[in-house]
Amino acid sequence: MDKEKILKVIQNAIIESGGEEFDLTSDNDIEILFNNIVQSLDLPFNYYLRNGNEDYWTQIEYYSNKIRKTIIWDYDAGNYDDYDELADAILNLKREIDEFEEKLPVLN
């Protein structure tokens, strides 16, 4: 996976939305776009908008097959200035999770 693939998925999502750009300061728009990227590129994590006790936050989760648990990787995943920054964040996230997974033991 590389940045160009991510940006292509973003461009396709814009086209599918009727040409409307995504608001990268909107948690809802980021969730829609992020999940589109994750599904299109078959990435092992997801972005969620969570709420509880009259509060809400964003978080990134992934399921580790090695330990058979869902891991909350990042709270308050934040907003992005542009699509390049979002693509870079996804690439960094993938790299960090892959490195972490390599260090985990396999549970039987």
Task: Mean pLDDT check: name the lowest of 7-16, 35-44, 47-56, 65-74.
Answer: 47-56
Contacts of 66 (CB under 8 A, 6+ apart): 101, 104, 105, 106, 107
70 belongs to a structural domain: yes
pLDDT of residue 60 exceeding 80, the answer is yes
Which one has a higher pLDDT value, 34 or 9? 9
If one counts the domains in the chain, the total is: 1
pLDDT given at position 50: 81
pLDDT of residue 36 exceeding 80, the answer is yes
108 belongs to a structural domain: no
Residue 61: domain span: 3-103
